[in-house]
Copies of this chain bind each other. A is one copy, B any other.
């Protein structure tokens, strides 16, 4: 049963959150994007924990500084729990592999998942029935969006590792601190996974590595915490547990028991997950909380082929997630694109005209070329599974599958990132009069027509063209 005072609080929260809306990328340094050469990068730092590991890419690398982002990859073993934490940067998390559940802790929202109040029926005390905020299932292909400062935990409830790639948009206006990615831990004694890279730049600051207690409770006086929690100091010391060396990802003893709605009886696997979520949505409606931040959708699947925005059989597909299909992205000023290329197919050369694109290879290999404003090739190489490269705003890029299949996820630093293709049915050249093309390139009008109209496909292009074959021969 929804507490009416909490209800009005959460309606109020909706309005408050809308205030965060005017967010944006901020103050790049003077020459942050003078990039001569891009690279396909592997993570360069790894921290092992009890039930998983965190790998990070050096946020001081030229590419990431230009884009104003940091990236991490988490691997959570079965039964592993990533402890609750929050960050100074809004975050997009992509589930590369696995399935599990996650809780996003929004201050002031009511605890809407409650155990049945049997106690009252039987005249017993109902004091020890748990209640907590909404919990969400996640699975391969989900994007989970987290505003800056909002805490979150993750649990692997499957039989195989959960692998996630996380983008932290440190140059987002939601982050009023500096450009360093920061993790504030609510439990455990995790390392600062980005720290090693930051050491060089930090101005001789005392390192926290010597410290045995790293979570946010460690810095407070035990007596004060005992007072505010109204518990014994010995229990508070457990919150500040210095002896805990399990790190940020810990092993849960047995299964993690939480209160949550069952999957539907008829449900087989995750394909019908969305329907069950819709049902939950309707239940939410019943308790009057709809349209508040507390019930806002923070997750969407971008992997299902049926959601493709651009699709050519045997060639590939592209799915976009932006603030139109996941409204929270409007606050985060971020979006994402999931692509699949088959059989040596190409995504035509294009530029992102209002965003940087941070591309992570999910499967297979690709040949990629990136071109800057001087017409220089700043990247020409192969990108493999698990590598990242950055395509700065306005730079042009072409991707081509090497062999059977290349799959990728792109994070984009605009909630409505758009591309401008150089070829195909939506290309910039097609938009120009023939005569402009003819004069610009010193070609005949007939050749201009070929350039404009030969390729009628939008964005994707199969690897074999009769024209090109002939030409090669």
Contact = CB atoms under 8 A, between A and B. Distances in A.
Nearest to A463: B227
A375 B215 contact: yes
A134 B251 CA distance: 62
A interface SS class: loop
A174 interface: yes
A216 interface: yes
A144 interface: no
Sorted from nearest, which 8 A-B pairs have the closest CB atoms? A27-B27, A149-B353, A219-B371, A19-B416, A187-B440, A208-B374, A218-B375, A107-B420
Contact of A454 (B25, B231, B351): B231
A105 B447 contact: no
A449 interface: yes
A213 B450 contact: no
Interface in A299-337: 322-324, 330, 333
Given A375-B185, A433-B130, A178 B230 contact: no
Interface in A388-404: 392-394, 396, 398, 400
A414 to B, nearest CB: 7
Contacts of A426: 9, 107-108
A229 interface: yes
Contacts of A185: 373, 375
Contacts of A163: none
8 contacts: A133-B432, A176-B393, A182-B394, A186-B422, A220-B349, A220-B396, A227-B465, A252-B439
A133 B239 CA distance: 58
B468 A230 contact: yes
Contacts of A394: 86, 88, 148-149, 177, 182, 184
A298 interface: no
A203 B432 contact: no
A416 B223 CA distance: 32
Contact of A178 (B18, B30, B258): B30
A71 interface: no
Interface residues of A, number: 187
Interface in A442-461: 442-443, 446-447, 449-455, 461
A257 interface: yes
Contacts of A205: 34, 36
A92 interface: no
Contacts of A449: 127-128, 130
A369 B220 contact: yes
Contact of A218 (B208, B226, B330, B371): B371
Interface in A24-70: 24-34, 36, 66-68
A80 to B, nearest CB: 10
A292 to B, nearest CB: 14
